[in-house]
Chain A
Amino acid sequence: MFESHLITMLLFSVIVSILLAFLRYDTKKEIIRSALKLFAYMVGGVILFSWIMFLL
């Protein structure tokens, strides 16, 4: 399971984005929003840039 680049990256992003959100904010709404945003940036960023590297 850990050999999968995607799964390992997703797992890392989930845990780290939750931790960073709890570090930054105190209210439930802010935490959830921040975690989701951070997760999207991390995962989206890697996937997007990986294709840019492939195409360039």
Chain B
Amino acid sequence: MNKKSQQPSKKQQKEKSSIRDNVEMILEVLVYVFFINAFLLQTFGIPTSSMEDNMLIGDHLLVDKIAYSRSLGTLDGFMFPQLDMKRGLTVVFKSPPEVKRNNMSRLMYVKRVIALPGETIMVKENQVYINSNPLHEPYVSFKGNPSVPDNFPPENLSDWWPEFPLEHRYNLVETELGMAYQVPEDHYFCMGDNRNISADSRVWGPLHQDYLIGKPWRNYWSFDAPTEHYLNKNLFQRIGYTIINFFKHTRWERTLKKY
């Protein structure tokens, strides 16, 4: 009789503690998730075609947080494979305050570094010149209706994009090819690969190095959907669309693609 009365409460105890165990396990895992997110890898989904054809709308990539991280000295830097910034590297970064706050604005962007601090950059009819030398850019494309002019810096004062910081508009240098823009210290000049539509440093100015988040590493899932889907604020609609179209619209061949 004692056993009978003890059994339900023991069972109850076990059930309760297993729920609590699971909750505690989930909480601990979440600590690790945010640890990994800050110090190792972050996820990022591409909502626009500004980096086509290298990154498509719907590419979900893993961002390497180590590559552009910093160190204090040699021992410190020796631990991690940190990279020195080079022309041509792709960067994921926090949106600088100059980026227009409209319904297209997000918190993270991905572009390619084209000019380094101190270098001069000029774009003439879509050809980029770094320190007056033409740059060979095999990654570039010109898709969609051009919304960004094919010359930079603009010839007239009135042609600067309003978002381009005033204090940076005077970094102009006379070169044999014309007026070039000199990239300020601690900044990078970034452009999207799809030059026609990419809102980048030509529009909102040079990117300060403190805004860097990481380097695109690999794609883990590529889902073919229009930009509207990725900018849709209605989470349930997005989840529904994704579930329904998961097998049909996933670009399986892009899984694990290296950037």
- For the residues of B in contact with A, the DSSP-based class is mixed
The reply to whether A53 and B72 contact each other, CB–CB distance below 8 Å, is no
- For the residues of A in contact with B, the DSSP-based class is helix
The reply to whether A6 and B35 contact each other, CB–CB distance below 8 Å, is no
Q: How far is the CB of B227 from chain A (nearest CB, A)?
A: 29
- Extra 17 A-B pairs, beta carbons < 8 Å, given A42-B35, A46-B36, A56-B258: A3-B70, A4-B71, A5-B71, A5-B80, A5-B82, A6-B79, A7-B76, A8-B39, A9-B39, A16-B31, A16-B35, A46-B40, A47-B80, A49-B41, A50-B40, A54-B67, A54-B81
Contact of A20 among B28, B36, B39 (CB under 8 A): B28
Q: How far is the CB of A53 from chain B (nearest CB, A)?
A: 5
Interface code A37-56, partner B: CB below 8 Å = 1, 0 otherwise?
00000100011011101101
- Please report the number of residue pairs spanning A and B whose Cβ atoms sit closer than 8 angstroms: 56
On chain B, the number of residues with a Cβ less than 8 Å from chain A's Cβ atoms is: 24
| B217 part of interface (Cβ distance < 8 Å) | yes
Chain A's interface size range is 20 to 34
Please name 29 pairs of A and B residues whose Cβ atoms are closer than 8 Å in the assembled complex, sorted by A: A3-B72, A4-B72, A4-B76, A5-B39, A5-B65, A5-B66, A5-B70, A5-B80, A6-B71, A6-B76, A6-B79, A6-B80, A7-B72, A12-B35, A12-B38, A13-B35, A20-B28, A42-B35, A46-B36, A46-B39, A46-B40, A47-B79, A50-B66, A53-B64, A53-B66, A53-B81, A54-B67, A54-B81, A56-B258
